[in-house]
Chains A and B, each alone.
Chain A
């Protein structure tokens, strides 16, 4: 989407902003909002086994007015497209977007010639911060995406990075 202006607060003090960003990074509140099968993995990530609460991002809010992160979990059909846009509008600043799964990244398996029903990727209309590939991504992948977002928000990574073997 190129560059875009992010609304800022009235008073900006660098140390205060730093502290605030640490607070924001470690208490990301995602929106209870699933579009397709990736939402099942998102639910699994929030539930007991994978336990997103360990990273402070388990408070799935039912209202966009209380959310920080929109996890676009699934295929954006043309029917849901206006709803997704409305929900993004209603989230207060600061807000971030995670595109979860291949459908939200690029349309995934539905991005074929002549398709008429889906939007090919959330980044065609949303400023996506983190892409989590997979079809669907495992809950660990979503957690890693949230950790990446935390790193993006506060500038450092609080959790160890697991190298692939």
Chain B
């Protein structure tokens, strides 16, 4: 039994090494057998744009993120609806629907989530403006 488990471990190790060699081998072979440099006539080998044109400016620039607020608002509505689905299912039950306490609970839940939307509204999220922060 002891010998059998040792043999199994050896098998796993062998397969692991085989897999590793298969994954890393091509990288090593390519590194050894391919030329590491390339002939250069204009010193543009490292240029990112591959269409031949000289890039205008840098891609790492700052730009106004207005849309992410909409994404957050979508999340608020989305979670709202997500949690209302089970409520809607359970409301098929007359005993549940008849109870005033259940209704009040649902109203409280929706009201709290709505607060987030009202807050965003007050903050001007629904206005499509470039946000300018004075303190920066």
Contacts and interface: CB of A to CB of B under 8 A. Distances in A.
Interface in B37-69: 37-45, 47, 50-54
Interface stretch (B19-27, B28-36, B89-97, B103-111): B28-36
16 contacts: A4-B39, A6-B35, A9-B34, A9-B36, A10-B36, A16-B33, A86-B52, A87-B52, A88-B39, A89-B40, A90-B47, A90-B50, A91-B38, A93-B34, A93-B38, A126-B41
Contact of A64 (B50, B53, B54): B50
Given A90-B44, A90-B45, A6 B39 contact: yes
Contacts of B36: 7, 9-10
Given A83-B53, A86-B52, A90-B47, A9 B41 contact: no
A7 B33 CA distance: 12
A43 B44 CA distance: 27
A16 to B, nearest CB: 7
Interface in A29-62: none
Contacts of A125: 41
Contacts of A11: 32-33
Interface residues of B, number: 21
B37 A7 contact: yes
Contacts, number: 75
B122 to A, nearest CB: 50
Interface residues of A, number: 30
A137 interface: no
Nearest to A8: B35
Contacts of A4: 39
> Lowest 5 CB-CB distances: which A-B pairs, in order?
A83-B52, A93-B35, A7-B37, A85-B42, A89-B44
Contacts of B53: 83, 86
Contacts of B47: 86, 89-90
Interface in A1-36: 4, 6-11, 16, 20
A127 interface: yes
